[in-house]
Amino acid sequence: MSINIISHTTRQQWAWAFYDWANSAFITTVMVAFFPIFFRKYWANGLPSEDITLHLGTANALASLSIMLLAPFLGTVADQGGIKKPMMAAFVTLGVCATLGLTMVGESQWQWAMFGFVLAVVGFLGANIFYDSLLVDVADETDFNRVSALGYGLGYLGGGLLFALCVLLTLHPEWFGLGDKAAAVRWAFGITALWWAGFSIPLWRGVRERAPAQAVRPALPALLRQSFRQLLDTFRHIRQLRVVWLFLLAYWFYIDGVDTVILMSVDYGKALGFADDSLITALLITQFIAFPAALAFGWLGNRLGAKRAILAGLVGYVLITLMAVQMDNSSDFYLLALSVGLVQGGVQALSRSLYASLIPAEQAAEFFGFYNMLGKFASILGPLLVGWGGVITGSPRLGLLAVLLLFGLGGALLWRVPQR
């Protein structure tokens, strides 16, 4: 009997982790790589470089602001009604449909491209609220580091494989019967949407959501009223839990720097004049290095503790930022990509598992709503700081230095978080 229970639990963990394989294709192929490049060269062709960077930062900020406002309430509704999986499905559908919509935006229609991108990112970020909170449904606290790292590891591997396919598609569109690179990029967006939808199926079929505390799910109006009251109670609860509050404040700062590096790296390279092929190659390096590195961070988190491993990753990010400000050629960018790959997945995975170990499991979606709210509020500031810094100073290098402050403040606060 125990063997069957263990194997069933392991299957649920793999089914849960496989969603990272599904949705990481979106963040790699669309958010980080092809959308910034295609936006600059096709949808916003003819606009000044500083304006394009500002528009990209604004689009990311609008999406993050939307999730920041919605996340805590959505999490509360999901916990109260026991509907984390259905609500996750709704946001996945929004993200997939918006990504498909990008294939129909015409040249120089940068406003429509921004609109579709914002909707797609809202779908991606909104689904992650419920995906993250399902970690407590598939793993015990002793397994949080390992299972969370498994998810990020699979995400980098799956996202990297699809990204490699899309790179081949855009480099040689004639092999696939396409007329030019613009058509190939549109196909890349469409393939990514289908990949995201198709590989989400294991989670829908294999993960069982924990039953809510109340036996009968209330009607929608009562559920909304009850969820709003519970949201206020959860906020008061978080304020009383000093460890949780201190961690969230630290996370708010340091994940801003992490997200800014992810979201603005390609546009930063383009602003410095690097070739598209160099940027794409660097992203592939990051993906495939991050796969084993994320798994290694899961092991490191179990040996040293998640907090110490995250702090080591933040020190790495400080060095990476200093490298980025001084880089002059594509070889420097490759080295930068290698360095980011070593720490990126580990910091993200262990932040999720450390937070999961600090919160009550029966309120996971509510607490992860606040987790995502603060993380996405931080994502508003970082891209805007980089964008406006480049506009005001005329140098994208100086704008990038703002992330050092974010890593420093986040690390100092995280140091004060006691770890069991």
Q: List, for residues 214-251, the tens digit of each pLDDT value.
A: 544 555 565 556 655 666 666 666 666 778 888 988 98
Q: What is the pLDDT of residue 1?
A: 36
Task: Provide the pLDDT for residue 4.
Answer: 40
102, 82, 96, 78: which is closest to 367 by C-alpha?
A: 78
Give the domain CATH number at 315. 1.20.1250.20
pLDDT tens digits along 60-111: 778 877 877 776 667 666 666 577 888 899 999 999 999 999 999 888 788 8
Sorting pLDDT into bands at 50, 70 and 90, what band is 373? low
Q: Among candidates 344, 328, 370, 338, which has minimal Cα distance to 129? A: 370
**Burial class of residue 153 in the structure, from the number of CB atoms within 10 Å of its CB (0-12 exposed, 13-18 middle, 19+ buried):** buried
**pLDDT tens, 305-335?**
889 999 999 999 989 888 887 877 777 788 8
pTM over 0.75: no
SS (H, E, C) 178-236: CCCHHHHHHHHHHHHHHHHHHCCHHHHHHCCCCCCCCCCCCCHHHHHHHHHHHHHHHHH
Residue 19 has pLDDT above 90, yes or no: yes
Residue 168 lies in a domain: yes
pLDDT at 5: 39
Q: Which of 4-8, 116-120, 160-164, 341-345 has the lowest mean pLDDT?
A: 4-8
State yes or no: pLDDT of 193 exceeds 90: yes
Q: Look at residue 319 and tell me if it is in a domain.
A: yes
Whole-number mean pLDDT of the chain? 80
Query: Is 164 within the bounds of a domain?
Result: yes
Number of domains in the chain: 1
Taking 3-state DSSP, the helix, strand and coil percentages for the chain, each rounded to the nearest 5, stand at 85, 0, 15
User: Quick check: 255 and 351 in contact, CB under 8 A?
Assistant: yes
Chain-centroid distance, C-alpha 63: 12
CA distance 297 to 290: 10
- Nearest alpha carbon to residue 348 among 313, 384, 320: 313
Domain presence at residue 299 = yes
Q: Does 228 fall in a domain?
A: no
Does 210 reside within a domain?
A: no
Structural domain of 387: 12-204+239-415
**Beta-carbon neighbour count of residue 29 at 10 Å?**
29
CA distance 21 to 158: 5
- Is residue 209 in some structural domain? no
Residue 368 lies in a domain: yes
